[in-house]
Amino acid sequence: MATDRIVVLAGGVGGAKFVRGLRALVRRDLPSASITVVANTGDDLWLAGLRVTPDLDSLMYALAGVNDEQRGWGRAGETERVSAELTAYGVGWPWFTLGDLDLGTHIARSSMLRDGLPLSAVVERLSARWPLGVRLLPATDQEVETHVVTDEGELHFEEWWVRTRAALPARGFVQHGVEHATAAPGVAEAIRDADVVLLAPSNPVVSIGTVLGIPGIREAVRATAAPVIGLSPVIGGSVVRGMADACLAAIGVATDAAAIARHYGARSTEGVLDGWLVDEADAGAVEALEADGIRAEAVPLWMTDDDATGAMAAAALRLAGR
């Protein structure tokens, strides 16, 4: 099977870890292959007059090697002097830290947007500074923001996630602005012309689900001639890191590798998947998934370093060729 054009749908931190491992694999074993990453933009927001794009930034910083590994988000060597001033003026969200280096990115981005550039062109210009080794595309150029429906009203996804730590029960998610959105330039074409499409082990609801919800993207994934392979973000009934189980619960999907595969669905029955990788802890699910029309295999899915993650990506490419 050809693997020259690899497309990955991805969220932020989990997506970035996966793409780094995939990039390491490609550099070592598939030097002629290209990687296009379609990133979630549902977490984007205006804050203190600036457009902030958390998942695109997690991807850009991690691929550039300037991310804070310890903290898990933002820039390494960060300071927060500007944020302290903003808080003193009562501007922004006190619980949403904007580091000084990070603010440089947000100011640059907002300035380009105000000059009239679409987000996709802004991402291209910002990421030209770093040798990312992948083509990074926002899912859409329009402002489509994920809001969480709770018993106390609706709030922006980042407010629910960061301020309430997803503790306020979510009743559902709304993509504000989605009816006016289209896939960003290059996204549908990349999926159509791909040799393989991978769904990163990202949040199935507010990362991958949001990307697939942009008009034209789910259709492109369903229509591509390339195999579509997903990797489970859940291992042994746990979300590994973070609070994604709260998102799954809100849409009535169990925190379970097979349940997520069935939520995505087989392409042969209205879904988006040809294949699904589960961790060895979930090997018991393989047979039933195959019976449901989803090629499945159990391999280690812990993204402990680029080598381990590269091996996951290699397993996904093998499953695509099966």
Q: Residue 180 or residue 241: which is nearer to ligand GDP going by CB? A: 241
CB 4 within 8 A of CB 32: yes
Q: Which stretch binds ligand GDP (CB under 6 A): 62-70, 122-130, 151-159, 241-249?
A: 241-249
Q: Which stretch binds ligand GDP (CB under 6 A): 5-13, 86-94, 151-159, 289-297?
A: 5-13
In the complex, what is the shortest distance from the CB of residue 11 to ligand GDP, in angstroms, rounded to a whole number?
A: 3
Q: Is 230 in the site for ligand GDP (CB under 6 A)?
A: no
Compute the C-alpha angle 296/297/303, nearest 5°. Answer: 120
Q: Residue 95 or residue 302: which is nearer to ligand GDP going by CB? A: 302
Compute the C-alpha angle 306/309/311, nearest 5°. Answer: 110
Decide which of ligand GDP, Ca ion, none touches 302; Cβ closer than 5 to 8 Å per partner kind: ligand GDP
| Count of C-beta atoms within a 10 Å radius of residue 81 | 9
Return d(Cα 144, Cα 138) in angstroms, integer: 11
Q: Residue 138 or residue 201: which is nearer to ligand GDP going by CB? A: 201
Helix (H, G, I), strand (E, B) or coil at 198: strand
What sign has the CA pseudo-torsion 291, 293, 298, 300?
Answer: negative
Q: Residue 55 or residue 279: which is nearer to Ca ion going by CB? A: 55
Of 15, 39, 43, 210, the one binding Ca ion (CB under 5 A) is 43
Helix (H, G, I), strand (E, B) or coil at 123: helix
In whole angstroms, how far apart are CA 247 and each of 58, 112, 271? 20, 33, 20
Q: Which residues bind ligand GDP (CB under 6 A)?
A: 10-15, 55, 58, 201-203, 207, 232-235, 239-242, 244, 301-303
